[in-house]
Amino acid sequence: MKKLFTLLALLSMAAASQAQVTFTVLGGTNHNASNGEGCESAFDGNLGTKWGMFSGDAWVSLDAGEEITLTGYTFTTANDNKEYNGRLPLEWEIYGTNDESTARNMAAASELKASGTKWELVYDVLGKKEVQQMQVANYTAHYFAQPYGTKAYRYYAFKNVIGGSQLSEIQFSYTKNKHLDYTFISGSNGLSDGEGPAKVFDGLGSTKICSNTGIGDRYLIFKTSQPTKVGGYTFITGNDATNRDPKAWILYGMTSDSDPERNAEGWELIDSKSGQTMTSARRAHQHYTVSSPSDTEYNYFKLEIGETGSNLWQFQEFFLTTESEDPGKLFCYESNGGYVGEEAWHLLDGKYNTKLCGATGSGVIFGNGSQVSLTGYMLKVANENGNYNRYPSQVTFYGSNAENCPQWNGTWEKIETVTEDASDYQYTYTENEEEKTGWYLTYQACRYYHFSQPSAKYKYFKFVVDVTMGANITQVGILQPFFARGDIQQSLELREDTKPMLNGVLTVKDATIKRTITAGKWIGLCLPFDYDIPSGWDVRELDHVDGSGENASMKFASASSIEAGKPYIVKTGSDVTEISVTDKTFGTPASSVSDNGVNMIGNIGQTTIPEGSFYISNQGELKKLVGNDATLKGFRAYFTVDGGSSVKALSFDFDDDATGIERAQGVQEVQGPIYNLAGQRLNKVQRGINIINGKKILK
């Protein structure tokens, strides 16, 4: 039985979401496996399940129900990827086809590359596995931005090339907009060849049309690679002079077997606008929706430009969309550096046989027309790197929302500088009795980088190669940015006795935390999301710490809400076994509150706390951990005292009712190993004499 699942488009690269697509898992490795770890588990929207891809060439085929263009995809690691760090995917391939028989009758991964196959490669990540590193963490999302330019397919296949890996979820972001290549046919003359009409369709952020032709003689005619209906269209504004932006225009379409003239019969009105004022930002996306869209498909288009604010008119790019939303095309706004034919803009063309090759300081400005957060990136090694090792050893990313951007010398905020040691990628070998140095970073190898934290949301990003490993010349094949992803239909269950390691931002539809709370008892609590205080809960936060010498009293004040990552003291009116939320964003790390040398520390995952820490037992008693370090379950809080402090005893105080402890007389939640007098290890404290942390404890 085929398993159905529904995902929202992951449009972190788009300006607006489109109608969702329902996928069907057609088949694949371990399909409907009895252990629940078959291929369908990676597409069920539930982080509590996973796909175990432990054999090489594990695959899955999918039916999207209609033709879509892939714009990216998200891998979410499983429950124990941190503990078993060899289970991260290293190499994979994605294929597409519009042939139903090919997709539905697929029985083996070998069919994807078989002679005469109707599967077409959409994207692959191949290379030396030693240099491919996703983040080793559980329940962590890694978003991969697909270089814009893939065709639209109804059926997709994913193949994991190297075995021994696992994922809880694989989710696709997509657009229903067709991929269109544009061919310039005719148009108004520009001020120069460098600012002529063909520049509108060259895909470069450093070129434009700029013309002084008068109203009535301002037009462009172009052809698309396939017939298409038009739901919207996008201008990319010029680099200067807002008064040159068009204020009025008319868009026409025609179906023809030959290139039409401007005044030919058969042009049909698609849309017209007047009295428009484009954004003041330069090199910026300005999207428009067709007022009365039709289902008619055209292969030729004519754009007639009307008035502007001066005698000149200009813009950098123009492209069509089949849906009313801007597809969020990843765009190179400015290219800096590189030799002829190897300019920096090739970093973003998605092609393996092109590259940036130029001096250090080369780079690109990129974006997609909307404000997004950058979480990391991938660099794909170019050819010849094994001979010259021109791979960057230091790069810097910048972001900007400034009005003077996207200009290379505009106002930029530094996001992060990433530095690497060349020796990490060198190896020695002997050839003809001569010792030589080689490089692991060979052609098409991929290297992944994740920032220490997601960036702020920016409209423009700048990538600069600062230093290279072997020379003052750099070369890179592909730059693939990782953006924070959009809303995802997922469910997540976190248990107090596991280590969820929620690194990075993760948005889920439904989440449940298994946390036991006994009614009427004060306990410590720390949650990975903001939470409204339920009725019957008394929630306190650390206000200050009184006392001197060996005794200190922690004073707590009532809290109005529970903030993500912050530790609290909580008492509930009834027993609690789980905390459930909907549409929540995870990712805020646990934090601490400190005063007078005493620290209240939250923990989201199960963690190890140091000897000498204070904690609150399930029975609401403040205790001190003596002896060795020990494990504390998740979604709790504990207390430490700064080194050098004379404090040996803590108490917590609220409502003038203080509870204190000097050292633990029994051990409930947190403890070291427990033995009886015969040296046998026990699971819990028993009546009589127990040996805990080398000390005899009488119960």
**Right CATH for 3-175 from 3.30.390.10, 2.160.20.60, 2.60.40.1180, 2.60.120.260:** 2.60.120.260
Domain 331-483 has CATH 3.40.50.300: no
Homologous superfamily, domain 182-321: Galactose-binding domain-like (2.60.120.260)
Contact 468, 415 (CB under 8 A): no
- By mean pLDDT, which of 310-314, 332-336, 502-506 is the weakest? 502-506
Task: State yes or no: cis peptide before 406, omega within 30 of 0.
Answer: yes
Distances (CA, A) of 449 to 331, 452, 649: 21, 9, 45
User: What pLDDT is attached to residue 321?
Assistant: 84
What distance lies between CA 452 and its chain's CA centroid? 13
Q: How many CA atoms lie within 13 A of 256 on its CB side?
A: 19
* Residue 474, helix vs strand vs coil: strand
pLDDT of residue 298: 97
73/171 Cα distance (integer angstroms): 5
In the chain, how long is the greatest CA-to-CA distance? 102
Burial class (CB in 10 A: 0-12, 13-18, 19+), 124: middle
Which of 526, 493, 496, 527 shows the shortest CA–CA distance to 508? 493
**Residue pLDDT, tens place only, 418-433:** 998 766 666 676 777 7
pLDDT band at 219 (very low <50, low <70, confident <90, very high): very high
Identity of residue 480: Q
Q: Is 583 exposed, middle or buried (0-12, 13-18, 19+ CB in 10 A)?
A: exposed
Give span(s): CATH 2.60.120.260, the chain: 3-175, 182-321, 331-483
Q: What is the pLDDT of residues 49-101, one digit of tens each?
A: 899 998 888 999 999 999 888 877 888 888 888 788 778 888 889 999 999 99
pLDDT tens digit sequence for 554-602: 899 999 999 988 999 999 999 999 998 887 777 677 889 999 889 999 9
Report the share of the chain in percent with pLDDT over 90.
38
The pLDDT of residue 499? 57
pLDDT at 667: 33
